[in-house]
Amino acid sequence: MQPHAYGAHEVMELHEVLNEAVNAINTAQLYAPYVRDPELSHLLGHQLQFMQNEYNSMVHTVHGLGAGEALPYRPASAIAAAHAVMGTMQSGQMPQMYPQTYPQTQQPNVHPNQMDDRDVSSAMLGLHKSGATCKMAAALEAAHPQLRNMLLQSAVNCANQAYEMWGYMQRKGYYPFLTMQPTANAQLLRGYQPASEGSQGAGQQVTPPPAAMPSPHNGTVITNAVEPEGPASQQTSAISGVSYPSPTLQRPANASQIFSSPTYRQEHYGVSEETQVAADAEGTLTAEAYSSLSQPTDNRQGRSRKKGASDSTIG
């Protein structure tokens, strides 16, 4: 892997991964002297050696000194039971379950000399689970593809080591495989059903219905379109969907018939005697009003003319 400019998030994640790997190796070395079971001693030594090799490979990769190839973890070949447990990862079958001898009471040890095989195996199981979580989170933040693949493989390696350690604990009765009642399983899991194939996908477009503005009074649809004259059109209620006939549009009329021409009144309204008399009276009043308004003007003009005549005589 060639050196490249690391992103800030990559640097922080690599720092967490390498620091966690150092702590896991140191912790495993502290627990090794307290192991009494030869099977667990062999298993712990095998995993500790792999953890050290993997750590060195990661350091070389980060410094750009190695190829960066992350090898998968392989179980301890001298442990037949571990082979059986690890073999189920490829076959997809559950390993053989052994009689459960879960201890009745648990409490912290008062002195380190009280450490037993269960304490060591349980601590190693927790270390591998923590390492898998840390490395998978770092892989999700990696930008370089080769660095990402290395972190992904390292996370899988921790998960496989945890599964191998759990298999040892299960055989010894340190980690019982407890089950629930079939009715509880049915209530929790069988309620989930596959998605319907006929359901509308997210990529399909949904045609929205035409927008309508309901009236606050009767729920009829109000539009801005002016309908032409003709038969009564139908209006649909926005609430109940019932159609109502709309009223026929009326022809616009003059506000006052008396100011309309006789031809217009005769064509649109028909002129009655009362209307004609009112129009004639209104016309007479109008003529008188105009006549009265014009009289003062004529008097002023006459006075002006008289003044001009006298002035000219004097001169």
Summarised one tens digit per residue, pLDDT across range 257-301 is: 566 667 776 776 665 555 565 556 655 655 565 555 555 555 555
pTM: 0.58
| Stronger pLDDT, 255 or 30, i.e. the higher one | 30
Helix (H, G, I), strand (E, B) or coil at 57: helix
Tell me the three state secondary structure of residue 197: coil
DSSP, collapsed to helix, strand or coil, labels residue 234 as strand
Average pLDDT over residues 4-32: 93
Checking if the pLDDT of 156 tops 80, the result is yes
| Pick from 21-35, 100-114, 152-166, 252-266: least confident | 252-266
- Asked if 137 and 151 touch (Cβ cutoff 8 Å), the reply is no
| pLDDT of residue 55 exceeding 90 | yes
Neighbours of 107 (CB within 10 A): 5
Given this model, what pLDDT does residue 238 score? 46
Lowest model confidence (mean pLDDT) among 66-70, 157-161, 223-227: 223-227
pLDDT at 255: 54
Terminal Cα-to-Cα distance of the chain (whole angstroms): 126
> Which residue is associated with the tokens 């089950």?
179
DSSP, res 222: E
Q: 287-304: buried (b, 16+ CB within 10 Å) or exposed (e) per residue? A: eeeeeeeeeeeeeeeeee
| Contact predicate 232/247, CB 8 Å | yes
Q: What is residue 74's predicted lDDT score, i.e. its pLDDT?
A: 87
